[in-house]
Amino acid sequence: MTEAVGTSGGLLSECGLPSSQMMKLLSADFTTTDDVKDMKPSELSQATGLSLKECVEVLRTASNSHHPSPVDMLQIYQEGSELPQIVTFCKALDTLLGGGIPLQAITEVSGMPGVGKTQVCLQACVSVQLPKSVGGVGGEAVYVDTEGSFTVKRLKDMASCAVHHVGTIGGVAEDVSGFTIESIMKGVHYFRCQNCVEVLAVVKNIPKLMLVHPNIRLLVLDSVSFHFRHDFPDARDRAKLLRTVTKELIQPAVTHKMAVLVTNHMTTNVKEKGSATLVPALGETWGHCPTLRLNLSWCGPTRVAALTKAPHCQNSSAYFQVSIGGLRDVSDNTQPSTAGNLQHEPLNKKRKIVESNDR
Amino acid sequence: MMESKGSHKWTKNILNELDINPKIVVCAKKGYVSASSILGASHNELEEKLGLSSFHIKNFIDAVTSHVLPKKTSAWDLSQTGEGDPKHITLGCQNLDNFLGGGVPAQGITEMTGQSGSGKTQIALQLSLCAQLPPVAGGLGKGVAYICTESQFPTARLQQMVKHFKAQHSKGPASYTDGIFVHHIPDMDSLVDCVRYQLPCLLSQRPIGLVVLDSVASPFRAEESNMENKNLLYTLGYQLHQLAATYHIAIVAINQVTSVIGNNNLYGHSGNVVPTLGLTWANLVTTRLMIGRTDSHVQAEQTEGSRQVKKSSSKTIVEYNVRELEVIFCPWLGKKSCPFVVTSKGIEDVE
């Protein structure tokens, strides 16, 4: 286990500079990017003996590289457990997820058409914006829509309920009064992508987007499968683009501490013996990417979420329902409700959000 | 032969459209000319293959990304412009329209599935008329492309419906039949070709707001259910979505059902029938509506449409089977059902 080196900038040797330049830099005692960052090309040239043109290149490369210095495991663990989670407003589901949808991780939500994958995404777009003073993440969301399932009206209904619940908890914190339907709707940045290259472009553009909106904490991709299951003119292209997207999605999660939420179709996997099972689409190329895999299905008239892959949660399941206000628990004494039966339970919600605050 | 707009956007050579250092263009011509190849490669791969500095590669990737990036908007902007509201086509029936939140969803692919004789084609015909009503009356104000894959287009029935429809709706085109373009396509390969090539042609030449596929099941059910045909089905659905997004049209696809043994609850709809074409197709459907007959009947007086028949003695009592329209799934509607009947006029509410 390496000791924490602190935040002294990345090592120049890891910036990909030609070895001849590295030799000269090292012999002039320049080892990290911090050592060179404030220098002028002419100064660097004089100190190292590199040409002016080479120095310009070195400075550019040094300022572009983002190499985090080695950090010890304890620090990573502490940071991770201190991160707030995105609640789903369904206690059973939050418990299943270990508190909510986690930041700094990729969560996949798979399921049959109509089971509620998009509803989970819309709920997360609202929940991520819950004010920090009530235990929320207080961040914004980016919604990448590939299928055209994004409905403004659904988002508005969920936002309205969330505002109501936060209102009942009370509090005069500034971020609570600023938590309005309008602010929530403005906090969901929307991209409609007509093909996989547009999806790639949006994900690659996240760092730039963060410069303008540094408070983004959720990236939703609904769905990853729609464009990638299409029969490409060249099958190798499809595999390569999928691998690239898979890799690119890790960046926002790790670097920007975002929660990445991705929906996926189900497909039939016919085994050799003739029996068929339902599995998330896109196979292993995609399968190893998500940290958490949540599968939604039906148990009679009730929706069920099952955790099929998780680093630290036990594999189990939770019942939930989709109401006008979003995801909710299935009550014991009422039937699983359809949209139209809003379950207003302000007291329970208060307890839930306060609980997440205690953690 | 014209594919739908935008399908080549990511495979064609975009180098000349970018505002970048000409040195990059020269190097990139070696094999990275399309958006998909450039964005699909890693930074390191591009550096290695093009022999350019990290700085140039970064600029190159940024330029391509900005070029391809779709417009950014927010949920708030969408709500203000009305772009984010789901679109509908009225059914001409108040109860049904209210139940569906304005009419049959006109976003993505709306599937109507159910047993034979349940009323799917009847609703499709009704929609073909309603779509031609102006937007103020709940229509799209445009024509319809009606693709028949099973039997002949029911011309006589349409004529009967048009007669009553004109009497009921004052605002509308002079000739409803002129606004319906009928194609007969029985096999799956021709169907996919039609959607890929002929439809975009038609859509760019005529004002068409609705495409009806009656039915999507028939051409595929006759064939083997192998990987190649599944891919073809997926291509069909995918292309339909592209058309809907590019030309802003509604797509209504009629599907059949097949019996299941035992309780099949995969879609949250417990019953003894399940829509055909499996998961491949279901994953492409935005809204799934199930139509079926019920055990109830209603009675009504059957009156002739002509106003000349007014003799009180010539009214006959007719029994209509009550049908049911059920929402199986829809991104903005809950699961519920609504009754309706099929009369000589077309689709009508149950009072």
Q: According to the model, what pLDDT value does residue A350 have?
A: 32
Last residue of a domain, one of B17, B34, B68: B68
CATH of residue B257: 3.40.50.300
- Between chains, do B74 and A186 touch, taking CB under 8 Å as contact? yes
> Same domain for B88 and B42?
no
Beta bridge partners of B291: B114, B325
Rounded CA-CA distance B21/B1 in Å is: 35
Q: Each residue of A192-220: b (16+ CB within 10 Å) or e? A: bbbbbbbbbbbbbbbeebbeeeeebbbbb
Ramachandran class of B254: left when φ > 0, alpha when ψ lies in -120 to 50, beta otherwise: beta
Q: Per the structure block, which two tokens stand in for B96?
A: 């049904």
Mutation target for A interface from B33, B43, B67, B78: give the one with most A CBs within 10 A: B78
Bridge partner list, A109: A263, A294
Task: Tell me which chain A residue has its CA closest to the CA of residue B79.
Answer: A152
Q: Residue A251 contacts by C-beta under 8 Å, 6 or more apart in sequence?
A: A203, A206, A207
Cα distance from A23 to chain B (closest Cα, Å)? 19
Whether residue B130 sits in one domain with residue B162: yes
With 60 as the cut, is the pLDDT of residue A67 above it? no
Interface contact B72, partner A, CB < 8 A: yes
Kindly state the DSSP code that residue B177 receives in the 8-state scheme.
G
Q: Decide if B74 is inside a domain.
A: no
Spatial CB neighbours of A274, under 8 Å, sequence gap ≥ 6: none
Q: Which neighbouring-strand residues pair with A232?
A: none
In the prediction, which pLDDT does A339 show? 34
The better pLDDT of the pair B29, A282 is held by: A282
A24-28, B269-273, B326-330: least confidently modelled range: B269-273
Q: How far is CA A106 from the centre of its chain?
A: 6
In this structure, of A7-11, A196-200, B38-42, B331-335, the range with the lowest mean pLDDT score is: A7-11
Do B208 and B122 have their domain in common? yes
A151 touches chain B (CB under 8 A): yes
DSSP string for residues in B111-131? EEEESTTSSHHHHHHHHHHHT
For A277, B92, B255, the CA distances from B228, given in Å and listed in that order, are 20, 41, 20
**Co-location of B191 and B128 in the same domain:** yes
Q: Three-state secondary structure along B135-172?
A: HHHCCCCCEEEEEECCCCCCHHHHHHHHHHHHHHCCCC
pLDDT at position A135 over 90: no
Block residue for tokens 């929320």:
A136
- Does residue B116 belong to any structural domain of this protein? yes
Q: What secondary structure letter does DSSP report for A338?
A: P
Decide if B197 contacts A194 (C-beta within 8 A): no
How confident is the model at residue B48, as a pLDDT? 84
Helices (H), A170-234: 174-177, 181-186, 196-204, 206-212, 225-228
Of B271, B288, B305, the residue at which a domain comes to its end is B288
For residue B309, the model assigns a pLDDT of 38
Average pLDDT, chain A: 81
What pLDDT, in 10s, does the model give residues B99-115?
999 999 999 999 999 99
Contact across the interface for A268 and B279, Cβ inside 8 Å: yes
Binning pLDDT at 50, 70 and 90, where does residue B96 land? Answer: very high
Count structural domains, chain B.
2
Interchain contact, B72 vs A198, CB within 8 Å: no
Nearest chain B residue to A268 by CA: give it. Answer: B279
Q: Are B44 and B88 found together in one domain?
A: no
pLDDT of residue B25: 82
Q: Which two tokens stand for residue B327?
A: 């929402």
Residue B330: which residues within 8 A CB-CB, separation 6 or more? A114, B105, B286, B287, B288, B289
Give me the helices (H) in chain A, please: 19-27, 33-37, 41-48, 52-64, 73-82, 91-96, 117-127, 152-169, 174-177, 181-186, 196-204, 206-212, 225-228, 235-255, 283-287, 346-358
* B77 in a structural domain: no
Q: Could you tell me if residue B304 is inside a domain?
A: no
A22-36, A115-129, B155-169, range with the lowest pLDDT = A22-36
Decide: B271 and B314 in contact? Cβ < 8 Å.
no
Which domain, by its residues, includes B63? 5-68
Residues B232 and B189: their CA atoms lie apart, in Å, by 8
Q: Tell me whether residue B333 is in a domain.
A: no
Question: Are B64 and B114 in a shared domain?
Answer: no
Using the Cβ of A143 and the Cβ atoms of chain B, whether some distance falls under 8 Å is answered with yes
For residues B173 and B214, membership in a common domain is answered with yes
Same domain, B103 and B199: yes
Using a CB–CB cutoff of 8 Å, tell me whether B279 touches chain A. yes
pLDDT value at A126 more than 80: yes
- Say which amino acid occupies A226: F
* pLDDT at residue A39 in the model: 78
pLDDT tens digits along B191-228:
999 999 999 999 999 999 999 999 999 999 888 888 88
Considering only CA atoms, which of B234, B246, B232, B241 is closest in space to residue B201? B246
* Partners of residue A187 in chain B, C-beta under 8 Å: 74
**What is the Rg, in whole angstroms, of the alpha carbon atoms belonging to chain B?**
25
**Whether A261 contacts A127, CB under 8 Å:** no
Q: How far apart are CA A24 and CA A26, in angstroms?
A: 6
Q: Is residue B300 part of a domain?
A: no
Which pLDDT score, from 0 to 100, does residue A276 have?
A: 79
ipTM of this complex: 0.89
Report the C-alpha gap between A172 and A166 in whole angstroms.
11
Which range (A180-194, B52-66, B173-187, B243-257) has the least confidence?
B52-66
* The pLDDT of residue A306: 94
The number of beta carbons lying within 10 Å of the beta carbon of residue A335 is 11
- What Cα–Cα distance (Å) separates residue B217 from each residue in A30, B112, B148? 69, 11, 11
Distance CA A117, CA B307 (A): 53
Averaged pLDDT, A122-131: 96
Q: Would the pLDDT of B68 be above 60?
A: yes
Q: Does B292 score more than 60 pLDDT?
A: yes
Tell whether the model's pLDDT for residue A333 goes beyond 50. Answer: no
Question: Same structural domain for residues B273 and B222?
Answer: yes
Cα of B327 to nearest chain A Cα, Å: 10
Disruptive mutation site among A151, A156, A250, A267 for chain B (greatest number of B CBs within 10 Å)? A151
pLDDT value at residue A332? 55
Mean pLDDT confidence for A47-75: 73
B38 → chain A, closest CA residue: A197
Q: Specify the pLDDT at position A356.
A: 35
- Residue A336 neighbours by CB under 8 Å, 6+ apart: A301, A302, A303, A319, A321, A330
Q: Which residue of A has its CA nearest to B287?
A: A114
For residue range B301-331, list pLDDT tens digits in order.
765 543 433 445 566 788 899 999 999 999 8
User: Does residue B248 sit at the A interface (CB-CB below 8 Å)?
Assistant: no
Q: How confident is the model at residue B190 (pLDDT cuts 50, 70, 90)?
A: very high
**B104 shares a domain with B47:** no
My answer on whether B49 and B101 are in the same domain is no
Average pLDDT, chain B: 87
Q: Is A357 on the interface with B (CB under 8 A)?
A: no
Identity of the residue in B64, B286, B288 whose CB atom sits nearest the CB atom of A148: B286
Assess whether B32 and B102 both reside in one domain.
no
Q: Using CB atoms and an 8 Å cut-off, which of residues 192-211 of chain B contact chain A?
A: none
B118 domain residue, yes or no? yes
In sequence order, what are the residues at sequence separation of 6 or more whose Cβ sits closer than 8 angstroms to the Cβ of residue B175?
none
Structure tokens at A247: 């890799």
Whether omega before A223 lies within 30 degrees of 0, making that bond cis, reads: yes
Q: Mean per-residue pLDDT for A232-236?
A: 64
Residue with tokens 């029969």: A231
pLDDT score of A9: 59
Position with higher pLDDT, B229 vs A64? B229
Give the residue ranges of DSSP H helices in chain B. 22-28, 35-40, 43-50, 54-68, 75-81, 94-99, 120-130, 155-168, 188-193, 199-205, 217-221, 227-247, 278-282
Out of B242, B288, B330, closest to residue A194 by CB:
B242
Is residue A346 predicted with pLDDT exceeding 90?
Answer: no
Are A163 and A89 in contact by the 8 Å Cβ rule? The answer is no
Is the CB of A198 less than 8 angstroms away from the CB of B69? yes
Nearest to A198 by CA among B69, B211, B259: B69
Percent with pLDDT over 90 in chain A: 42
pLDDT grade for A79, boundaries at 50, 70 and 90? low
- In chain A, residues with a C-beta closer than 8 Å to the C-beta of B288 are 113-114
Does A113 sit within 8 Å of B329, measured CB to CB? yes
Angle between helices A152-169 and A117-127 in degrees, nearest 10: 40
Write out the two tokens for A114: 């109509």
Q: What is the pLDDT of residue A240?
A: 84
Q: Note the pLDDT tens digit of each residue in A235-270.
A: 677 788 888 998 899 988 888 889 999 999 999 887
Tell me the whole-structure pTM to 2 decimals.
0.82
pLDDT band at A349 (very low <50, low <70, confident <90, very high): very low
Q: Is residue B336 part of a domain?
A: no
Q: How far apart are CA B206 and CA B195, in angstroms?
A: 15
pLDDT digits (tens, 9 = 90+) for A264-305: 999 988 777 777 788 999 988 899 899 999 999 998 888 999
Closest CA to A294 of A275, A268, A320, A257: A320
